[in-house]
């Protein structure tokens, strides 16, 4: 099967999954306690007003019709109105997504830049004290809840050492003074585009603690996986061949092993990015980060169901899309893998 057909098939599969995901959220939204019509009309509304609101919201129609209307609304980009701030959910998502995306991206870069080399180091020196220490570190990193880590990091680096800010993307004054026009809405990129180096440093300083908190679990996961797959390659006969040929260990590692060992790691990166996105709910709450996660947290707190569903749909879509990209990268990188249409898990 050629690559294009593989991609097409995966895209179709993704559409199917999205419809199913929408069906699940629709079903759940009908289970939710409390009358949505009453919520929208306000608690002091009369029975007639609530009834009118119910008709306006289409809640008196048959369930099947409601679902079709729901999907049609979604396709038009209408995700409903946030009960909390009375704005269209889509506008809210647009407003909050860039902050989360920037945070997740920086967290992933941090995890990859440290996780791959540390994992490789651990594998090359396996059995040594260094390896033991790194493995234990990774275990602790996987077990430490992000919302506790965030608190500890703020205590150390903000409260005691006063090196780094404790939250937000920028200080309020800097936010007002900021010169860079919001082109991409990713602060780091916007600052660079505007050539504003002070803004860049400020934004970067604010990113360090939340990104480390968010990325630590992925870092640990990548480390463990890189170590395991590199060890697997070290056991392969071709490594022996390369050794008996008299190649230097470093060259064997760089030329032969790393490439093969890194291919499966790509899959883990995809999974890690997904968990980073959803993990941002916890981290953003700790760091007062004005992104999707904090929006979702407030939505849960206010029982703002359309908002929660909006965040979930958006995140799931990104999640599925990243998995698609990973699968494509996977089959392109490794010619041995057949395009089978099955998701690599």
Partner 1 sequence: MNAIAPLARALRRLNPSAQLALLVVAITLVVALFPAAFATADPYTLDLPNRLLPPDRDHIFGTDNYGRDVFSRVLHGARYSLFTALVVVAFGLTLGCAVGVSAAASGGWFDEILMRLTDVVLAFPPILLAMVVVTALKPSLEVTMLTLVLIGWPEYARVMRAQALVVLSREFVLAARALGIGPLALLTRHVLPNALPPLIVLASLNLGIVILSLAALGFLGLGAGQPTPEWGRMVSDGRDYFLDSWWYPVYPGLAIALLTLAFNILGDTLRDILDPTTRRESS
Q: Which residues contact partner 1 (rule: CB under 8 A)?
A: 17, 20-21, 24-25, 28-29, 31-33, 136, 139-140, 142-145, 147-148, 151-152, 154-155, 159, 221, 224-225, 227-229, 231-232, 268, 271-272, 274-275, 277-279, 281-282, 285-286, 296-297, 300-301, 303, 305, 308-309, 311-312, 315-316, 319-320, 343, 345
301's CB contacts (< 8 A; 6+ apart) are: none
Instruction: Quote the least distance from Cβ 299 to partner 1, whole Å.
Output: 8
284's CB contacts (< 8 A; 6+ apart) are: 100, 103, 210, 290, 291, 292, 293, 294, 297
Instruction: Quote the least distance from Cβ 298 to partner 1, whole Å.
Output: 11
Question: Is the CB of 38 or the CB of 184 nearer to partner 1?
Answer: 38
Question: Is the CB of 21 or the CB of 39 nearer to partner 1?
Answer: 21
Helix then strand count (H, E) for the chain reads 15, 0
- Helix H or strand E segment including 21: helix 3-31
Instruction: Quote the least distance from Cβ 22 to partner 1, whole Å.
Output: 10
CB atoms within 10 A of CB 240: 11
SS3 category, 169: coil
Separation CA 338–CA 344 (nearest Å): 11
Question: Is the CB of 98 or the CB of 306 nearer to partner 1?
Answer: 306
Separation CA 268–CA 345 (nearest Å): 9
* Assigned token pair, 26: 């629709």
Instruction: Quote the least distance from Cβ 52 to partner 1, whole Å.
Output: 25
Separation CA 248–CA 259 (nearest Å): 17
Instruction: Quote the least distance from Cβ 225 to partner 1, whole Å.
Output: 6
Question: Is the CB of 165 or the CB of 190 nearer to partner 1?
Answer: 165
SS3 category, 340: coil
Hey, what's the torsion of the CAs at 140, 143, 144, 147, to 10 degrees?
A: 160
Instruction: Quote the least distance from Cβ 164 to partner 1, whole Å.
Output: 14
SS3 category, 159: helix
* Assigned token pair, 256: 């032969």
Question: Is the CB of 102 or the CB of 304 nearer to partner 1?
Answer: 304
Question: Is the CB of 14 or the CB of 189 nearer to partner 1?
Answer: 14
Instruction: Quote the least distance from Cβ 39 to partner 1, whole Å.
Output: 13
Question: Is the CB of 85 or the CB of 312 nearer to partner 1?
Answer: 312
């Amino acid at each position: 099967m050629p690559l294009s057909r593989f991609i097409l098939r995966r895209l179709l599969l993704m559409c199917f999954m999205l419809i199913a995901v929408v069906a699940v959220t629709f079903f759940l939204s009908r289970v939710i306690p409390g009358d949505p019509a009453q919520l929208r009309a306000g608690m002091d509304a009369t029975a007639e007003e609530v009834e009118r609101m119910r008709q306006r919201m289409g809640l008196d129609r048959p369930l099947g019709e409601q679902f079709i209307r729901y999907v049609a609304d979604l396709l038009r980009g209408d995700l409903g109105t946030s009960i909390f701030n009375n704005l269209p959910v889509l506008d809210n998502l647009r407003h909050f997504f860039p902050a989360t995306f920037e945070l997740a991206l920086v967290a992933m870069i941090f995890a990859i830049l440290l996780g791959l080399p540390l994992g490789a180091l651990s594998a090359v020196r396996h059995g040594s004290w260094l390896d033991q220490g790194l493995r234990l570190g990774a275990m602790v990193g996987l077990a430490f809840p992000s919302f506790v880590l965030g608190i500890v990091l703020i205590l150390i680096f903000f409260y005691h050492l006063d090196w780094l800010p404790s939250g937000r993307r920028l200080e309020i004054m800097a936010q007002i003074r900021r010169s860079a026009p919001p082109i991409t809405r990713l602060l780091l990129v916007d600052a660079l585009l505007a050539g504003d180096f002070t803004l860049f440093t400020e934004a970067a300083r604010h990113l360090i603690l939340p990104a480390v908190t968010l990325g630590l679990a992925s870092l640990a996961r990548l480390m463990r996986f890189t170590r395991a797959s590199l060890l697997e390659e070290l056991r392969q006969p071709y490594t022996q061949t390369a050794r008996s040929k008299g190649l230097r260990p470093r060259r064997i590692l760089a030329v032969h092993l790393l490439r093969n060992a890194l291919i499966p790691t790509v899959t883990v990166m995809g999974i890690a990015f997904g968990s980073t996105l959803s993990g941002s709910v916890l981290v953003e709450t700790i760091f007062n980060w004005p992104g999707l996660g904090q929006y979702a947290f407030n939505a849960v707190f206010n029982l703002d169901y359309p908002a929660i569903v909006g965040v979930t749909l958006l995140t799931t879509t990104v999640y599925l899309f990243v998995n698609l990209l990973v699968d494509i990268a996977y089959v392109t990188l490794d010619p041995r893998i057949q395009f089978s249409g099955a998701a690599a898990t």
